[in-house]
Amino acid sequence: MKIKLMLLRISLSLSFLVILFIINSPLLSQKKSSYKKVFEINQDYLKEQGAILVSINGIYIADTKTNTIINIDSEEGIKSTFKIPQYILDKYFLPDYEREFHIGIDSIRNIFIVICHAEALSTIIIFDKVGNFVREIDLVEIVPSSVRITGFYVSKRGVLFIHTTPHSPLSPGWNESTYVYNNDGTFLGRSDCNWEDSKGNLIKILRTKDSTIISKYKNPIDSKIYSSSKLRKIAAYAILKTKNNYYQQGVSWSYVGIDTSDNMYLTNENIIRKLDPNLNLISEIPIIHNLLNNQSIKLVKVLVGPGGNTFLYGEQTSIVGKSESKKMILLKQQ
């Protein structure tokens, strides 16, 4: 009897060790979240996070060195390229090392390129879906030089959301804000809402020390109302804790994007969280930093495509002999 009991204990101990080995196996980690390389390009061309966009028409990358927009298919590679008119760049006297691009695309696949630099917004230019130049929108008189352009979003109905933050975070009344325009350049107002879904509901994300608060406001009847103080009807509301059961670093949640089903994606640099249109949790996708570190990739940005595919955009460092080279790389999560 004692021998049987001893054998049972040994068997249970071995089973426990096997389970521990499987859990910690790198092979299992790769199965949970593996990565496929989509594209890579010399770092000199991609200085800004806003210079890449995953859209319904493929992936767009803004090359600030040659002023070219590259359209890439995640399976087939480069589909097309088109140039930003030189006279527009010359008009603002912006050398390539000061130039920043941000990209947006509307529901009919017009491509919007925000051209700005460290001091102020310069202009927005619009191309059609095949790269033909359509027109230029000069917004420099509206957006003040005291703020820096940090992001850009084009809604389904073509409303432009230009995200800004003050140059000096210590200045009185510091906060992030958004300037809202029609796609013809008409200024609609300043807002604390940063995005909208396919139904025109406005989305506001507020970060506190302990949590990230997401509010979705119902589509306003008045097309010029974009401030949350005037939007009384809440369509959905959620609070994401900064610290959760998985990670305790205290990293706040950042907006990633919305897919064609109005599901929202956020990340805290360790996981990607997918929420339904009512802001209920659907799933969580881990970001396996060990897999990135093994390839010397530093994560820069998380992206989501219209169909819900998630991408990681990062900087990869290679050392050959005594020389070091860097390139920007786009990975698709499998």
pTM of the model: 0.79
Domain presence at residue 202: yes
What residues make up the domain containing 209? 198-255+262-283
Domain presence at residue 204: yes
Write out the H or E segment, with its range, that includes residue 112.
Answer: strand 111-116
For the chain, give the number of residues: 334
- Residue 310 to residue 245: CA distance in whole angstroms: 23
Answer whether 313's CB lies under 8 Å from 330's CB.
yes
- Residue 145 to residue 53: CA distance in whole angstroms: 25
Residue 41's pLDDT band, with cuts at 50, 70 and 90, is: confident
Domain presence at residue 69: no
Residue 220's pLDDT band, with cuts at 50, 70 and 90, is: confident
Domain presence at residue 9: no
Task: Count the Cβ atoms, other than its own, within 10 Å of residue 271.
Answer: 18
Residue 247's pLDDT band, with cuts at 50, 70 and 90, is: very low
Answer whether 168's CB lies under 8 Å from 179's CB.
no
Indicate the number of domains in the chain. 1
pLDDT, tens digit (0-9, with 9 covering 90-100), for 47-62 = 555 578 888 888 888 8
Write out the H or E segment, with its range, that includes residue 196.
Answer: strand 195-196
Widest CA span in the chain: 92
Question: Does residue 132 have a pLDDT over 70?
Answer: yes
Report pLDDT for 166.
Answer: 67
Alpha-carbon dihedral of residues 187, 193, 194, 196, nearest 10 degrees?
-90
Q: What phi, psi does 272 have (nearest 5°)? A: -110, 125
Write out the H or E segment, with its range, that includes residue 160.
Answer: strand 160-166
Domain presence at residue 230: yes
Answer whether 189's CB lies under 8 Å from 226's CB.
yes
Report pLDDT for 277.
Answer: 93
Domain presence at residue 277: yes
Helices (H), 181-304: 289-294
- Residue 277 to residue 216: CA distance in whole angstroms: 9
